[in-house]
Amino acid sequence: MSASSALAERLPRGAAQEAVSLWALAFGGTLLVFLTAQPLAKLVATAGFLYLPLVALERRGEDYREYGVNLFSWREDLKLFAILFGLVVATFVPGYWLFGKALAYLPTEWLHVLTPYSSLPSFHPRLPDRFFEWTIDQTFVVALPEEFFYRGYLQTRLTDAWPGGPKIFGVRMGKAFWVAQILFALGHLAIFKVWRLAVFFPAILFGWMRGRTGSVLGSALLHACCNLLVQVLDASFY
């Protein structure tokens, strides 16, 4: 690599261009495979999230631990996970019930467009089928790869580009932070359902944890458990 190209990569514009380009490559590849070979889309997305950032890091000779793949603050990660997941359960479970009540006011034909549901809720507590398999899948195939890509790599590189912004509870939440979470939400539209944009809101918690602890351990754990909570509630209500 020439000195000029190495300098460009360290400049803000180079960092942002690299991050958005890799996001577009991951999103475009996943979308293409979803449209042509749907059963392979998840595998392609997972591989892209894991390996595209590693190629960029290796080219610059950087350590992946600087991008959140570390156990430097595992105690704080676990403590914050316990607090935040407790708050999610305490607010989301009654919120889910209220949301179900609100669906009664929607025309039936809108349910499938605006929500993942095709019927009104009726609460019967139960675990979804193959819950253990779902746990493995959500932890190692979904949450860890996505957190490494979005909060580990993407949020870090965008912060290199745009380091400013206000601090909220000890975490810098400026332009870089919000763009990372927006791209996370848009990335879910590879399967085009409008309601999938709602992942923007838990992404704020995931991004904040990453900024607070310097690791993606806690955010990946919270991500997986939030996904599993939704599956349990879906099985119980719908």
Per the model's pLDDT, the better-predicted residue between 118 and 184 turns out to be 184
Predicted confidence (pLDDT) at residue 207 exceeds the cutoff of 80: yes
Q: How far is CA 111 from CA 25, 187, 190, 191, 227, in A?
A: 32, 23, 20, 17, 21
pTM recorded for the entire structure: 0.88
Q: Where are the alpha helices (DSSP H) in the chain?
A: 3-10, 12-36, 41-60, 74-103, 108-114, 131-136, 144-146, 155-161, 175-187, 200-213, 217-237
State the pLDDT at residue 96: 80
Interval 3-37: pLDDT, tens: 334 434 445 668 999 999 999 999 999 999 999 99
Interval 46-59: pLDDT, tens: 999 999 999 999 99
Rounded distance between C-alpha atoms, residue 77 and residue 70, angstroms: 11
Q: What are phi and psi of 168, to 5 degrees?
A: -125, 115
- Region label for 61, one of left (φ > 0), alpha (ψ between -120 and 50) or beta (otherwise): left
Confirm if 156 and 67 have CB atoms less than 8 A apart.
yes
Predicted confidence (pLDDT) at residue 112 exceeds the cutoff of 80: no
CB under 8 Å to 158, separation ≥6 — which residues?
15, 16, 19, 175, 176, 177, 179, 180
State the pLDDT at residue 113: 64
Structure tokens at 145: 């790869």
pLDDT band of residue 1 (cuts 50, 70, 90) is: very low
Mean pLDDT over 145-149 rounds to 98
Q: Where are the domains of the chain?
A: 3-237
What's the angle, vertex CA 58, arms to CA 68 and CA 5, rounded to 5? 110
State the pLDDT at residue 116: 65
Rounded distance between C-alpha atoms, residue 135 and residue 84, angstroms: 19
Mean pLDDT over 152-166 rounds to 95
Confirm if 22 and 56 have CB atoms less than 8 A apart.
yes
CB under 8 Å to 89, separation ≥6 — which residues?
229
pLDDT above 70 covers what percent of the chain? 88
State the pLDDT at residue 28: 96
